[in-house]
Amino acid sequence: MNRNPSSLCHRSFDLLVCGGGIYGAWTAYDAALRGLKVALIDQGDWGGATSSASSKLVHGGLRYLEQFEFRLVRKTLAEREMLIKAAPHRVWPLRFGVPVYAHSRVGLLRMKLGLMLYDLLAAGQASSKRHRFFSRHRFAERFPLLNAAALKGGFTYADAQTDDARLVLELVDGAIQAGAVCVNYCQLTRLIEENGQACGAELVDLSTNQSCEIRVRQIVFATGRWQAADQQIKNDCRLTRGIHLILPPLLKDEALLLTAPSDGRVFFVIPWYGLTLLGTTDTAYHDSLDAIDIDRAEIAYLLDAANTYLKKSWSQADIIGAFAGLRVLKSPSAAEAAAAPSSISRDWELRTAGNGAHYSIGGKLTSARQDAAQIVDRVCTTLDIQRPCATQGRLFPWYPHESAMDFPAWSQALQEQAIQSGIDRESAFWLIRRHGGNVTEILRTIAHHPVLAERIVSSLPFITADLLHCAAHEMVVHLDDALRRRIPLLILAKLTATDLRRIAGSISGILHWDTARCAQEVARCQAWLKQ
Ligand SMILES: Cc1cc2nc3c(=O)[nH]c(=O)nc-3n(C[C@H](O)[C@H](O)[C@H](O)COP(=O)(O)OP(=O)(O)OC[C@H]3O[C@@H](n4cnc5c(N)ncnc54)[C@H](O)[C@@H]3O)c2cc1C
């Protein structure tokens, strides 16, 4: 994946996709596969906004059943099943435990009915994935970290998990392989119109501040939270903030779905890269679109909610990292407007403005592929092109094609090969999930330089060869691209200035950074950490 801003300038495209989050990435990939001449830009890094700040779940959304959102749940469950098959390295199954206590808002019978419906809506899923009931004693045995007093029993049910930023990145690479021109740190500053119709755009390459114009036949804005400042669309959407905390290891292979006692909202405790992700919140947001802070009250809310369930409480001192993201929700109906933000529909909508520009509003990481297919359908209809969607069921760009469809066997063999080349077992496991088929390239590098099999920081399963691969092949522009999204070290470890300088130094040769640039990049990461 090379960054080449000059390949955009003064050219014409069938479609410009503005915004390289999950919606922009799927849209560009789908359109390029259908043979359109596509440009995809993002003013920051790929997946740099909400699409790297999610709960990292590929799920139907059990809680949406309470709002009778059956259509949304069926749609997202179908996508979940498809993604697990098409991208086993990128989207993997994760079971959730749901304890039911004497004081729980949802009792055993109602939870059972909800889970039966969830299984039913996931038509075609393997029977091994159906929900299971556990007696009080058995559930306490399975989740020994939970308080067992007043526990009545519990369930487990199947969903799935991903690395959201890498999901976006892989799709951007897929779009490039299919012929799209994709440039990060490239901002759309002005829409060019003729006779009231959008026909081009002024773009600025933020790495050099050079601007240029391009001609386009169609434009899609997948600009996420920045739609709240877009004259064409701002009255149609509202924002809510969700934060996550990273805490020490707690669960190994299963997650927990819990309910906050203070307001009855659902939240998750999820294992991720060996640590614990605790989230999320859902509060109305009206502040800056560019820098989202994390409210102390939200941190307290999450810790309090989790601590009511845990035998060993967490305190502020246990927090390793945190991040915040903004949801874009379609403007609520009158009834929804009066209710809590978490009760507003998460479903997605496509609007076409009077000037012909299309807007993707709201949605989910999980269902973005299906929604993007609708965007590209509308673009094709407008251009009078008849080509069907090619992303449904298509193996992912980094799917290891040499695995001959037996991914588990391929993955097992590669893991053993990685261990033999000096990588520790946990890092080898994650390396395969992070890179899919590209892992063979990393193993070749290690064969020549065995020292690169060492971890970047001792507590986390990321090795130096991975970092160098990202710097060389994954369109890294800034240090935080490498350390927040290619590898999420900035949120999973408390990196010191010395760590940051060492890491910047290790990739400076690849990225042609001199000492002054390294210092700037370290300062940029430190500023992000202080947000
Ligand atoms: C806290 C939280 C948890 C969530 N958890 C889940 C989950 O577990 N599972 C799930 O399925 N969904 C989840 N979601 C929903 C999901 O994350 C979002 O629906 C999705 O990431 C939105 O993607 P997007 O592409 O629309 O927007 P974004 O990812 O925000 O991308 C928009 C992009 O547009 C770019 N942009 C804006 N203006 C310009 C411009 N002028 N020029 C160039 N580029 C521009 C931005 O830089 C940005 O990268 C969660 C959401 C939140 C907030």
- What's the mean pLDDT in 193-216? 97
Kindly give the distance from the C-alpha atom of residue 50 to the centroid of ligand 1, in angstroms, as a whole number: 3
Q: Which residues pair with 210 in a beta bridge?
A: 205
Please name which of 177, 92, 181, 218 lies closest in space to residue 390, comparing C-alpha atoms. Answer: 177
* Residue 186 and residue 4 in contact, taking contact as beta carbons nearer than 8 Å: no
List the residue whose alpha carbon is closest to atom 4 of ligand 1: 54
Kindly give the distance from the C-alpha atom of residue 371 to the centroid of ligand 1, in angstroms, as a whole number: 14
The minimum-distance atom of ligand 1 relative to the CA of 48 is: 49
Cα-trace Rg, the chain: 23
Residue 496 has pLDDT above 80, yes or no: yes
List the residue whose alpha carbon is closest to atom 38 of ligand 1: 223
Q: At what angle do helices 464-473 and 497-511 cross, to 10 degrees?
A: 50
Kindly give the distance from the C-alpha atom of residue 224 to the centroid of ligand 1, in angstroms, as a whole number: 5
Q: What angle do CA 206, 22, 180 make, to 5 degrees?
A: 65
Pocket test for ligand 1, best of 164, 186, 223, 289 (most atoms within 8 A of CB): 223
Mean pLDDT is lowest, of 188-202, 326-340, 355-369, 468-482, for: 326-340
- What's the mean pLDDT in 400-404? 78
Quote the CA–CA distance of 260 and 266 in Å, as a whole number. 6
In this predicted model, what pLDDT tens digit does every residue of 403-437 receive, in sequence order?
Answer: 667 999 999 999 999 999 999 999 999 999 999 99
Kindly give the distance from the C-alpha atom of residue 402 to the centroid of ligand 1, in angstroms, as a whole number: 33
Q: Which residues have any ligand 1 atom within 6 Å of their CB?
A: 18-24, 41-44, 48-51, 53-57, 187-188, 222-226, 242, 280, 325-327, 360, 363-366
The minimum-distance atom of ligand 1 relative to the CA of 325 is: 53
User: Which residues make Cβ contacts (< 8 Å) with residue 419, sequence separation at least 6?
Assistant: 425, 428
SS3 label, residue 42: coil
Please name which of 335, 295, 320, 258 lies closest in space to residue 103, comparing C-alpha atoms. Answer: 258
Q: Which residues pair with 213 in a beta bridge?
A: 202
Instruction: Please give the DSSP secondary-structure letter assigned to residue 361.
Output: E
**Type of residue at 450:** P
Pocket test for ligand 1, best of 90, 237, 282, 364 (most atoms within 8 A of CB): 364
Q: At what angle do helices 464-473 and 439-448 cross, to 10 degrees?
A: 120
Kindly give the distance from the C-alpha atom of residue 299 to the centroid of ligand 1, in angstroms, as a whole number: 22
**What are the counts of helices (DSSP H) followed by strands (DSSP E) for the chain?**
16, 18
Quote the CA–CA distance of 224 and 328 in Å, as a whole number. 6
Residue 298 buriedness (CB in 10 A; 0-12 / 13-18 / 19+): buried
Kindly give the distance from the C-alpha atom of residue 346 to the centroid of ligand 1, in angstroms, as a whole number: 13
- What's the mean pLDDT in 264-282? 96
Q: What angle do CA 429, 162, 144 make, to 5 degrees?
A: 75
* Residue 237 and residue 362 in contact, taking contact as beta carbons nearer than 8 Å: yes
Kindly give the distance from the C-alpha atom of residue 210 to the centroid of ligand 1, in angstroms, as a whole number: 26
List the residue whose alpha carbon is closest to atom 3 of ligand 1: 54
The minimum-distance atom of ligand 1 relative to the CA of 240 is: 53
User: Which residues make Cβ contacts (< 8 Å) with residue 496, sequence separation at least 6?
Assistant: none
- What's the mean pLDDT in 54-74? 92
Mean pLDDT is lowest, of 142-146, 175-179, 285-289, for: 285-289
**pLDDT category of residue 128 using cuts at 50, 70 and 90:** confident
In this predicted model, what pLDDT tens digit does every residue of 291-347 receive, in sequence order?
Answer: 899 989 999 999 999 999 999 999 999 999 999 999 999 876 655 666 666 666 668
Secondary structure in 3-state letters for 394-449: CCCCCCCHHHCCCHHHHHHHHHHHHHHCCCCHHHHHHHHHHHHHHHHHHHHHHHHC
Kindly give the distance from the C-alpha atom of residue 212 to the centroid of ligand 1, in angstroms, as a whole number: 26
Pocket test for ligand 1, best of 30, 41, 51, 491 (most atoms within 8 A of CB): 51
Phi-psi region of 512 (alpha: psi -120 to 50; beta: other; left: phi over 0): left
Please tell me the chain's helix, strand, coil percentages from 3-state DSSP, rounded to the nearest 5. 40, 25, 35
The minimum-distance atom of ligand 1 relative to the CA of 243 is: 1
Quote the CA–CA distance of 439 and 445 in Å, as a whole number. 10
